[in-house]
Chain A
Amino acid sequence: PEPQPDDHIKVVRIEKTQDPLGATVRNDGEAVVIGRIVKGGAAERSGLLHEGDEILEVNGVEMRGKSVNEVCDILSRMNGTLTFLIVPTQVPPPIQQRRDILIHVRAHFDYDPEDDIYIPCRELGVAFAKGDVLHVINQEDPNWWQAHREGEEDQQLAGLIPSKSFQEQREAVKQSILGESETREKSKKGTLLCAKTHKKKKKKIPYSSAFNDEFDAEEIPTYEEVALYYPRTSFKRPVVLIGPPNIGRHELRQRLMQESERFAAAVPHTSRSRKDGEIDGQDYHFISRAQFESDILSRKFVEHGEFEKAYYGTSLDAIRSVVNAGKICVLNLHPQSLKILRSSDLKPYIVFIAPPPLERLKQMRIARGEAYKEEELIDIIEKAREMEEKYGHYFDLVIVNNDIERTYHELVQRINYIEREPQWVPAFWLKQ
Protein backbone atom coordinates (compact mmCIF):
# COMPACT_ATOMS: atom_id res chain seq x y z
CA PRO A 1 0.00 0.00 0.00
CA GLU A 2 1.00 3.64 -0.61
CA PRO A 3 2.06 5.74 2.40
CA GLN A 4 -0.97 7.21 4.14
CA PRO A 5 -1.70 10.94 4.17
CA ASP A 6 0.16 12.98 6.79
CA ASP A 7 -2.59 12.96 9.40
CA HIS A 8 -2.24 9.20 9.66
CA ILE A 9 1.45 9.31 10.41
CA LYS A 10 2.50 9.17 14.02
CA VAL A 11 5.78 10.26 15.60
CA VAL A 12 6.99 8.01 18.39
CA ARG A 13 10.08 8.41 20.56
CA ILE A 14 11.69 5.50 22.38
CA GLU A 15 14.93 5.35 24.35
CA LYS A 16 17.27 2.65 23.16
CA THR A 17 20.36 1.23 24.80
CA GLN A 18 22.82 -1.25 23.31
CA ASP A 19 20.16 -3.92 23.76
CA PRO A 20 17.49 -4.49 21.15
CA LEU A 21 14.18 -2.71 21.61
CA GLY A 22 12.41 -6.04 21.69
CA ALA A 23 10.29 -5.79 18.57
CA THR A 24 10.53 -7.69 15.31
CA VAL A 25 10.12 -6.41 11.79
CA ARG A 26 8.91 -8.17 8.67
CA ASN A 27 8.66 -7.13 5.05
CA ASP A 28 5.26 -6.67 3.48
CA GLY A 29 6.01 -5.76 -0.12
CA GLU A 30 8.04 -2.54 0.11
CA ALA A 31 6.88 -1.87 3.64
CA VAL A 32 8.69 -2.61 6.89
CA VAL A 33 6.10 -3.72 9.42
CA ILE A 34 6.28 -4.53 13.15
CA GLY A 35 5.84 -8.31 13.43
CA ARG A 36 5.60 -8.70 17.18
CA ILE A 37 6.34 -6.97 20.45
CA VAL A 38 8.47 -9.07 22.76
CA LYS A 39 7.87 -9.18 26.51
CA GLY A 40 10.54 -7.53 28.60
CA GLY A 41 11.94 -5.03 26.08
CA ALA A 42 11.86 -1.23 25.78
CA ALA A 43 9.31 -1.43 22.95
CA GLU A 44 6.86 -3.32 25.13
CA ARG A 45 7.40 -1.05 28.12
CA SER A 46 6.82 2.09 26.06
CA GLY A 47 3.51 0.78 24.76
CA LEU A 48 4.07 2.94 21.67
CA LEU A 49 4.67 0.30 19.00
CA HIS A 50 2.09 -2.25 17.91
CA GLU A 51 2.07 -5.32 15.77
CA GLY A 52 1.15 -4.26 12.23
CA ASP A 53 2.53 -0.69 12.48
CA GLU A 54 4.54 0.33 9.41
CA ILE A 55 7.87 2.02 10.08
CA LEU A 56 8.55 4.79 7.56
CA GLU A 57 11.63 6.38 9.11
CA VAL A 58 13.87 6.08 12.13
CA ASN A 59 15.92 9.19 13.02
CA GLY A 60 15.45 10.47 9.49
CA VAL A 61 16.63 7.24 7.82
CA GLU A 62 14.07 5.96 5.37
CA MET A 63 13.00 2.36 5.96
CA ARG A 64 10.50 1.76 3.19
CA GLY A 65 12.03 -0.48 0.54
CA LYS A 66 14.68 -1.89 2.86
CA SER A 67 14.95 -5.58 3.69
CA VAL A 68 14.47 -6.63 7.30
CA ASN A 69 18.16 -7.53 7.44
CA GLU A 70 19.17 -4.01 6.49
CA VAL A 71 16.71 -2.54 8.99
CA CYS A 72 18.13 -4.79 11.68
CA ASP A 73 21.71 -3.69 10.89
CA ILE A 74 20.83 0.00 10.89
CA LEU A 75 18.96 -0.16 14.19
CA SER A 76 21.58 -2.22 15.95
CA ARG A 77 24.01 0.68 15.41
CA MET A 78 21.61 3.29 16.83
CA ASN A 79 21.13 4.18 20.46
CA GLY A 80 19.77 7.04 22.55
CA THR A 81 16.44 8.56 21.61
CA LEU A 82 15.01 7.01 18.46
CA THR A 83 12.34 8.94 16.60
CA PHE A 84 10.05 6.67 14.63
CA LEU A 85 7.74 7.81 11.86
CA ILE A 86 5.05 5.20 11.71
CA VAL A 87 1.77 4.46 10.00
CA PRO A 88 -0.31 2.88 12.76
CA THR A 89 -1.95 -0.41 12.00
CA GLN A 90 -5.53 -0.29 10.73
CA VAL A 91 -6.39 -3.14 13.06
CA PRO A 92 -7.14 -1.74 16.52
CA PRO A 93 -4.54 -2.96 19.03
CA PRO A 94 -5.89 -5.65 21.33
CA ILE A 95 -7.06 -4.68 24.78
CA GLN A 96 -3.98 -4.63 27.00
CA GLN A 97 -3.04 -7.69 29.05
CA ARG A 98 -5.55 -9.81 27.25
CA ARG A 99 -3.80 -13.13 27.70
CA ASP A 100 -0.87 -12.34 29.92
CA ILE A 101 -1.40 -15.29 32.21
CA LEU A 102 1.79 -16.97 33.32
CA ILE A 103 1.75 -20.71 32.88
CA HIS A 104 4.52 -23.23 33.47
CA VAL A 105 4.97 -26.20 31.20
CA ARG A 106 7.34 -29.11 30.98
CA ALA A 107 8.57 -29.84 27.47
CA HIS A 108 8.13 -33.39 26.25
CA PHE A 109 10.28 -32.95 23.17
CA ASP A 110 13.64 -31.50 22.20
CA TYR A 111 13.60 -28.25 20.30
CA ASP A 112 16.35 -26.45 18.42
CA PRO A 113 15.32 -23.22 16.68
CA GLU A 114 18.37 -23.53 14.40
CA ASP A 115 16.76 -26.57 12.81
CA ASP A 116 13.30 -25.09 12.48
CA ILE A 117 12.32 -23.55 9.17
CA TYR A 118 8.97 -22.47 10.59
CA ILE A 119 10.14 -20.18 13.36
CA PRO A 120 9.33 -16.62 12.32
CA CYS A 121 12.33 -15.08 14.08
CA ARG A 122 15.28 -17.38 14.60
CA GLU A 123 17.25 -15.06 16.86
CA LEU A 124 14.39 -15.14 19.37
CA GLY A 125 14.12 -18.92 19.39
CA VAL A 126 14.59 -20.71 22.71
CA ALA A 127 16.33 -24.08 22.51
CA PHE A 128 15.20 -26.63 25.05
CA ALA A 129 15.41 -30.32 25.81
CA LYS A 130 12.85 -32.88 26.89
CA GLY A 131 12.13 -32.34 30.57
CA ASP A 132 12.95 -28.62 30.68
CA VAL A 133 10.48 -26.33 32.41
CA LEU A 134 9.37 -23.27 30.44
CA HIS A 135 7.58 -20.22 31.79
CA VAL A 136 5.10 -19.12 29.15
CA ILE A 137 4.29 -15.42 29.50
CA ASN A 138 2.44 -14.59 26.30
CA GLN A 139 0.15 -16.68 24.11
CA GLU A 140 -1.21 -13.94 21.86
CA ASP A 141 0.19 -15.59 18.73
CA PRO A 142 -1.62 -18.94 18.44
CA ASN A 143 1.46 -20.53 16.84
CA TRP A 144 4.36 -19.00 18.75
CA TRP A 145 4.42 -18.50 22.48
CA GLN A 146 6.75 -16.12 24.28
CA ALA A 147 8.58 -17.86 27.07
CA HIS A 148 11.61 -18.07 29.32
CA ARG A 149 13.40 -21.29 30.00
CA GLU A 150 13.73 -22.12 33.68
CA GLY A 151 17.09 -20.89 34.90
CA GLU A 152 17.17 -18.13 32.30
CA GLU A 153 14.56 -15.85 33.86
CA ASP A 154 17.21 -13.17 34.27
CA GLN A 155 17.22 -12.63 30.51
CA GLN A 156 15.27 -9.48 29.83
CA LEU A 157 13.69 -10.45 26.55
CA ALA A 158 11.39 -13.41 26.26
CA GLY A 159 12.02 -15.92 23.49
CA LEU A 160 9.84 -17.85 21.09
CA ILE A 161 8.75 -21.46 21.41
CA PRO A 162 6.26 -23.35 19.24
CA SER A 163 2.81 -23.28 20.81
CA LYS A 164 1.15 -26.50 21.89
CA SER A 165 -1.28 -26.43 18.98
CA PHE A 166 1.44 -25.66 16.44
CA GLN A 167 3.64 -28.47 17.70
CA GLU A 168 0.71 -30.89 17.70
CA GLN A 169 -0.18 -29.91 14.16
CA ARG A 170 3.40 -30.36 13.03
CA GLU A 171 3.73 -33.76 14.72
CA ALA A 172 0.37 -34.94 13.40
CA VAL A 173 1.47 -34.17 9.84
CA LYS A 174 4.80 -35.92 10.43
CA GLN A 175 3.20 -38.98 11.99
CA SER A 176 0.58 -39.35 9.29
CA ILE A 177 3.33 -39.36 6.67
CA LEU A 178 5.52 -41.76 8.64
CA GLY A 179 2.51 -43.95 9.40
CA GLU A 180 1.64 -44.26 5.75
CA SER A 181 5.14 -45.17 4.68
CA GLU A 182 5.39 -47.65 7.58
CA THR A 183 2.25 -49.53 6.65
CA ARG A 184 3.54 -49.65 3.10
CA GLU A 185 6.79 -51.13 4.37
CA LYS A 186 4.89 -53.69 6.40
CA SER A 187 2.70 -54.79 3.53
CA LYS A 188 5.81 -55.29 1.40
CA LYS A 189 7.42 -57.42 4.05
CA GLY A 190 4.22 -59.32 4.55
CA THR A 191 4.19 -60.67 1.03
CA LEU A 192 7.82 -61.70 1.16
CA LEU A 193 7.91 -63.38 4.54
CA CYS A 194 4.40 -64.80 4.32
CA ALA A 195 3.60 -67.15 7.17
CA LYS A 196 6.70 -66.38 9.21
CA THR A 197 5.33 -63.17 10.70
CA HIS A 198 2.37 -64.84 12.34
CA LYS A 199 4.43 -67.06 14.58
CA LYS A 200 6.52 -64.23 15.91
CA LYS A 201 3.54 -62.33 17.25
CA LYS A 202 2.67 -65.06 19.71
CA LYS A 203 5.55 -64.23 22.01
CA LYS A 204 4.22 -64.46 25.56
CA ILE A 205 4.74 -61.79 28.11
CA PRO A 206 4.65 -63.42 31.54
CA TYR A 207 3.77 -60.39 33.64
CA SER A 208 1.98 -57.46 32.11
CA SER A 209 -0.61 -54.87 32.75
CA ALA A 210 -2.48 -55.30 29.56
CA PHE A 211 -5.41 -52.95 29.78
CA ASN A 212 -3.78 -49.57 29.90
CA ASP A 213 -1.67 -49.60 26.77
CA GLU A 214 -4.17 -47.95 24.47
CA PHE A 215 -3.15 -44.37 25.24
CA ASP A 216 0.30 -44.39 23.67
CA ALA A 217 -0.65 -44.08 20.07
CA GLU A 218 -3.03 -41.14 20.14
CA GLU A 219 -1.14 -38.84 22.47
CA ILE A 220 1.19 -36.35 20.85
CA PRO A 221 3.72 -35.35 23.47
CA THR A 222 4.18 -31.57 23.45
CA TYR A 223 3.94 -29.75 26.75
CA GLU A 224 2.45 -30.60 30.09
CA GLU A 225 1.32 -27.89 32.45
CA VAL A 226 3.23 -28.09 35.71
CA ALA A 227 3.03 -26.31 39.04
CA LEU A 228 5.37 -26.00 41.99
CA TYR A 229 4.72 -28.56 44.70
CA TYR A 230 5.98 -27.88 48.21
CA PRO A 231 6.80 -31.09 50.08
CA ARG A 232 4.81 -31.89 53.18
CA THR A 233 6.14 -34.03 56.00
CA SER A 234 2.73 -35.70 56.29
CA PHE A 235 2.81 -36.97 52.73
CA LYS A 236 5.65 -39.07 51.30
CA ARG A 237 5.75 -39.38 47.53
CA PRO A 238 6.04 -43.04 46.43
CA VAL A 239 9.29 -43.75 44.59
CA VAL A 240 8.90 -45.77 41.41
CA LEU A 241 11.87 -47.50 39.82
CA ILE A 242 11.50 -48.04 36.08
CA GLY A 243 13.97 -49.65 33.73
CA PRO A 244 14.94 -52.72 31.74
CA PRO A 245 15.35 -56.03 33.61
CA ASN A 246 18.61 -57.23 35.12
CA ILE A 247 20.45 -54.00 35.64
CA GLY A 248 19.99 -53.60 39.37
CA ARG A 249 16.53 -52.24 40.05
CA HIS A 250 15.67 -55.06 42.44
CA GLU A 251 18.88 -54.69 44.35
CA LEU A 252 18.29 -50.95 44.71
CA ARG A 253 14.79 -51.57 45.99
CA GLN A 254 15.98 -54.18 48.47
CA ARG A 255 18.65 -51.84 49.77
CA LEU A 256 16.21 -48.99 50.26
CA MET A 257 13.81 -51.24 52.13
CA GLN A 258 16.48 -52.23 54.60
CA GLU A 259 15.80 -48.81 56.08
CA SER A 260 12.48 -50.11 57.25
CA GLU A 261 11.66 -47.03 59.33
CA ARG A 262 11.63 -44.93 56.21
CA PHE A 263 10.76 -47.18 53.27
CA ALA A 264 8.21 -49.92 52.72
CA ALA A 265 6.72 -52.03 49.95
CA ALA A 266 3.07 -52.15 49.03
CA VAL A 267 1.47 -55.45 49.99
CA PRO A 268 0.38 -57.16 46.76
CA HIS A 269 -2.89 -58.98 46.13
CA THR A 270 -3.06 -62.55 44.91
CA SER A 271 -5.76 -65.01 43.94
CA ARG A 272 -3.73 -68.05 44.94
CA SER A 273 -4.52 -69.76 48.20
CA ARG A 274 -2.63 -68.92 51.33
CA LYS A 275 0.24 -71.20 52.28
CA ASP A 276 1.15 -72.20 55.79
CA GLY A 277 3.00 -69.48 57.61
CA GLU A 278 1.72 -66.72 55.34
CA ILE A 279 -0.23 -63.89 56.93
CA ASP A 280 -3.11 -62.21 55.12
CA GLY A 281 -2.45 -58.49 54.75
CA GLN A 282 1.24 -58.91 55.41
CA ASP A 283 2.61 -61.29 52.79
CA TYR A 284 -0.31 -60.79 50.44
CA HIS A 285 -3.90 -59.73 50.44
CA PHE A 286 -5.52 -63.07 49.64
CA ILE A 287 -8.66 -62.63 47.56
CA SER A 288 -10.75 -64.84 45.32
CA ARG A 289 -10.25 -65.06 41.59
CA ALA A 290 -13.67 -63.51 40.97
CA GLN A 291 -12.90 -60.62 43.33
CA PHE A 292 -9.56 -60.10 41.62
CA GLU A 293 -11.20 -59.93 38.22
CA SER A 294 -13.79 -57.44 39.35
CA ASP A 295 -11.03 -55.30 40.94
CA ILE A 296 -9.16 -55.34 37.64
CA LEU A 297 -12.25 -54.04 35.88
CA SER A 298 -12.77 -51.29 38.41
CA ARG A 299 -9.13 -50.28 37.86
CA LYS A 300 -7.97 -50.80 41.39
CA PHE A 301 -4.64 -52.18 40.23
CA VAL A 302 -1.68 -50.19 39.11
CA GLU A 303 -0.21 -53.38 37.73
CA HIS A 304 -1.33 -56.97 37.58
CA GLY A 305 -0.43 -60.21 35.88
CA GLU A 306 -0.90 -63.95 35.92
CA PHE A 307 1.63 -66.47 37.13
CA GLU A 308 0.98 -70.22 37.41
CA LYS A 309 -2.76 -69.72 37.04
CA ALA A 310 -3.01 -67.16 39.81
CA TYR A 311 -3.33 -63.40 39.63
CA TYR A 312 -0.88 -61.08 41.32
CA GLY A 313 -1.17 -57.32 41.45
CA THR A 314 -0.34 -54.08 43.19
CA SER A 315 -3.32 -51.92 44.06
CA LEU A 316 -3.56 -48.16 44.50
CA ASP A 317 -4.99 -48.77 47.96
CA ALA A 318 -2.00 -50.86 48.99
CA ILE A 319 0.31 -47.99 47.98
CA ARG A 320 -1.95 -45.51 49.75
CA SER A 321 -1.78 -47.40 53.01
CA VAL A 322 2.04 -47.19 52.96
CA VAL A 323 1.73 -43.43 52.40
CA ASN A 324 -0.78 -43.19 55.23
CA ALA A 325 1.68 -44.99 57.50
CA GLY A 326 4.10 -42.10 56.87
CA LYS A 327 6.55 -44.15 54.82
CA ILE A 328 7.99 -43.90 51.36
CA CYS A 329 6.53 -46.64 49.19
CA VAL A 330 9.13 -48.17 46.86
CA LEU A 331 7.74 -49.73 43.69
CA ASN A 332 9.33 -51.54 40.79
CA LEU A 333 6.86 -51.17 37.97
CA HIS A 334 6.49 -51.66 34.27
CA PRO A 335 6.33 -48.24 32.57
CA GLN A 336 2.85 -49.07 31.27
CA SER A 337 1.63 -48.77 34.84
CA LEU A 338 2.69 -45.16 35.12
CA LYS A 339 -0.41 -43.75 33.53
CA ILE A 340 -2.77 -45.07 36.20
CA LEU A 341 -0.42 -44.15 39.01
CA ARG A 342 0.13 -40.64 37.68
CA SER A 343 -3.57 -39.99 37.30
CA SER A 344 -4.15 -40.96 40.94
CA ASP A 345 -3.63 -38.69 43.95
CA LEU A 346 -0.39 -40.44 44.97
CA LYS A 347 2.13 -38.05 43.32
CA PRO A 348 4.72 -40.69 42.37
CA TYR A 349 8.38 -39.77 41.91
CA ILE A 350 9.55 -41.72 38.88
CA VAL A 351 13.16 -42.77 38.52
CA PHE A 352 14.50 -44.44 35.41
CA ILE A 353 17.47 -46.74 36.05
CA ALA A 354 19.31 -46.81 32.73
CA PRO A 355 21.96 -49.32 31.69
CA PRO A 356 25.55 -48.11 31.20
CA PRO A 357 27.29 -48.54 27.83
CA LEU A 358 27.79 -52.14 26.70
CA GLU A 359 31.43 -52.41 27.79
CA ARG A 360 30.64 -51.23 31.31
CA LEU A 361 27.66 -53.55 31.50
CA LYS A 362 29.96 -56.48 30.66
CA GLN A 363 32.47 -55.44 33.32
CA MET A 364 29.73 -55.28 35.94
CA ARG A 365 28.57 -58.79 35.07
CA ILE A 366 32.11 -60.11 35.24
CA ALA A 367 32.71 -58.39 38.58
CA ARG A 368 29.66 -60.17 39.99
CA GLY A 369 30.87 -63.47 38.59
CA GLU A 370 27.80 -63.87 36.41
CA ALA A 371 27.69 -65.48 33.01
CA TYR A 372 26.17 -63.39 30.26
CA LYS A 373 25.46 -63.45 26.58
CA GLU A 374 26.38 -60.43 24.54
CA GLU A 375 22.99 -60.51 22.76
CA GLU A 376 21.24 -60.36 26.12
CA LEU A 377 23.13 -57.20 27.07
CA ILE A 378 22.48 -55.59 23.70
CA ASP A 379 18.82 -56.44 24.14
CA ILE A 380 18.78 -54.73 27.56
CA ILE A 381 20.27 -51.56 26.09
CA GLU A 382 17.79 -51.61 23.23
CA LYS A 383 14.85 -52.11 25.64
CA ALA A 384 16.04 -49.17 27.73
CA ARG A 385 16.21 -46.99 24.66
CA GLU A 386 12.69 -47.93 23.65
CA MET A 387 11.37 -47.26 27.16
CA GLU A 388 13.00 -43.89 27.27
CA GLU A 389 11.56 -42.98 23.91
CA LYS A 390 8.06 -44.10 24.77
CA TYR A 391 7.80 -43.13 28.43
CA GLY A 392 10.64 -40.64 28.92
CA HIS A 393 8.22 -37.78 29.47
CA TYR A 394 7.08 -39.43 32.70
CA PHE A 395 10.54 -39.64 34.27
CA ASP A 396 11.51 -37.28 37.07
CA LEU A 397 15.06 -38.57 37.20
CA VAL A 398 17.34 -40.74 35.10
CA ILE A 399 20.30 -42.49 36.73
CA VAL A 400 22.74 -44.42 34.58
CA ASN A 401 23.75 -47.39 36.67
CA ASN A 402 27.50 -47.38 36.16
CA ASP A 403 28.14 -48.58 39.65
CA ILE A 404 25.48 -49.89 42.01
CA GLU A 405 27.00 -48.19 45.05
CA ARG A 406 27.05 -44.77 43.42
CA THR A 407 23.59 -45.27 41.94
CA TYR A 408 22.22 -46.10 45.36
CA HIS A 409 23.74 -43.00 46.91
CA GLU A 410 22.48 -40.76 44.16
CA LEU A 411 19.02 -42.22 44.56
CA VAL A 412 18.98 -41.67 48.32
CA GLN A 413 20.29 -38.12 47.87
CA ARG A 414 17.54 -37.31 45.43
CA ILE A 415 14.88 -38.76 47.69
CA ASN A 416 16.24 -36.61 50.53
CA TYR A 417 16.20 -33.62 48.22
CA ILE A 418 12.57 -33.96 47.18
CA GLU A 419 11.59 -34.15 50.84
CA ARG A 420 12.87 -30.61 51.43
CA GLU A 421 12.81 -28.71 48.12
CA PRO A 422 9.85 -27.73 45.94
CA GLN A 423 9.46 -29.59 42.65
CA TRP A 424 7.58 -29.12 39.40
CA VAL A 425 4.74 -31.61 39.19
CA PRO A 426 1.78 -31.98 36.82
CA ALA A 427 -0.50 -29.01 37.51
CA PHE A 428 -3.58 -31.19 37.93
CA TRP A 429 -2.00 -32.88 40.98
CA LEU A 430 -2.36 -29.66 42.90
CA LYS A 431 -5.92 -29.02 41.76
CA GLN A 432 -7.17 -32.37 43.05
Chain B
Amino acid sequence: IILVRMARRKRATRGVYSPSQQEYCNPRVELETQLKPPPEERLI
Protein backbone atom coordinates (compact mmCIF):
# COMPACT_ATOMS: atom_id res chain seq x y z
CA ILE B 1 0.00 0.00 0.00
CA ILE B 2 2.81 2.39 0.86
CA LEU B 3 4.39 1.86 -2.54
CA VAL B 4 1.14 2.59 -4.31
CA ARG B 5 0.68 5.73 -2.31
CA MET B 6 4.23 6.90 -3.03
CA ALA B 7 3.73 6.29 -6.70
CA ARG B 8 0.50 8.27 -6.58
CA ARG B 9 2.17 11.12 -4.81
CA LYS B 10 4.91 11.23 -7.38
CA ARG B 11 2.38 11.27 -10.15
CA ALA B 12 0.56 14.10 -8.47
CA THR B 13 3.61 16.33 -8.29
CA ARG B 14 5.06 15.43 -11.66
CA GLY B 15 1.94 15.80 -13.75
CA VAL B 16 1.64 16.81 -17.36
CA TYR B 17 2.24 20.45 -18.22
CA SER B 18 -1.18 22.00 -18.69
CA PRO B 19 -1.38 25.74 -19.34
CA SER B 20 -5.18 25.71 -19.67
CA GLN B 21 -5.36 24.45 -16.09
CA GLN B 22 -3.43 27.48 -14.87
CA GLU B 23 -5.55 29.86 -16.82
CA TYR B 24 -8.61 28.27 -15.29
CA CYS B 25 -7.32 28.94 -11.81
CA ASN B 26 -6.94 32.65 -12.43
CA PRO B 27 -10.34 34.19 -11.58
CA ARG B 28 -9.43 37.55 -13.06
CA VAL B 29 -8.91 36.14 -16.54
CA GLU B 30 -12.09 34.11 -16.35
CA LEU B 31 -14.22 36.98 -15.11
CA GLU B 32 -13.01 39.27 -17.86
CA THR B 33 -13.90 36.81 -20.58
CA GLN B 34 -17.41 36.42 -19.20
CA LEU B 35 -18.18 40.07 -18.52
CA LYS B 36 -16.90 42.61 -21.01
CA PRO B 37 -15.89 46.06 -19.78
CA PRO B 38 -18.05 48.76 -21.40
CA PRO B 39 -16.61 51.58 -23.56
CA GLU B 40 -15.17 54.33 -21.40
CA GLU B 41 -17.39 57.28 -20.64
CA ARG B 42 -16.21 60.69 -19.46
CA LEU B 43 -18.22 63.32 -17.64
CA ILE B 44 -18.80 66.66 -19.36
Taking beta carbons and an 8 Å cutoff, which residues of A are in contact with B? 20-28, 35-36, 38, 68-69, 71-72, 75-76, 117-118, 120-121, 123-124, 143, 169-170, 173-174, 177-178, 180-181, 188, 191-192
Contact = CB atoms under 8 A, between A and B. Distances in A.
Nearest to A27: B39
Contacts of B43: 20, 22-24, 38, 72, 121, 123-124
A35 B39 CA distance: 9
Contacts of A20: 43-44
A173 B24 CA distance: 13
15 contacts: A21-B44, A25-B42, A26-B42, A35-B41, A36-B41, A38-B43, A68-B40, A118-B35, A118-B37, A123-B43, A170-B31, A177-B27, A180-B24, A181-B24, A191-B8
A430 B43 CA distance: 38
Contact of A75 (B27, B38, B40, B44): B44
A397 to B, nearest CB: 33
Contact of A26 (B27, B31, B34, B39): B39
B7 interface: no
A24 B35 contact: no
B35 A169 contact: yes
Interface string B1-43: 0000000110010000000000011010011101101111111
B12 A191 contact: yes
A191 B13 CA distance: 13
A24 B41 contact: yes
Contacts of A68: 40-42
A177 B12 contact: no
B42 A71 contact: yes
Contacts, number: 73
A415 B40 CA distance: 47
B31 to A, nearest CB: 5
A173 B35 contact: yes
Top 3 closest A-B pairs, CB basis?
A24-B41, A121-B41, A35-B41
B21 to A, nearest CB: 9
Contacts of A75: 44
Contact of B31 (A38, A173, A188): A173
Contacts of B9: 192
A225 to B, nearest CB: 25
A194 B42 CA distance: 56
Given A188-B12, A192-B9, A173 B34 contact: yes
A36 B44 CA distance: 11
B44 A25 contact: yes
A120 B36 CA distance: 11
Given A22-B43, A27-B40, A124-B43, 5 more contacts: A27-B39, A68-B40, A120-B38, A120-B41, A121-B41
B42 to A, nearest CB: 4
Nearest to B44: A75
A170 B35 contact: yes
A206 B40 CA distance: 55
Contacts of A21: 44
A69 B42 contact: yes
Contacts of A188: 12
Most buried by B among A22, A26, A177: A177
A36 to B, nearest CB: 7
A75 B31 CA distance: 35
Contact of B25 (A117, A174, A181): A181
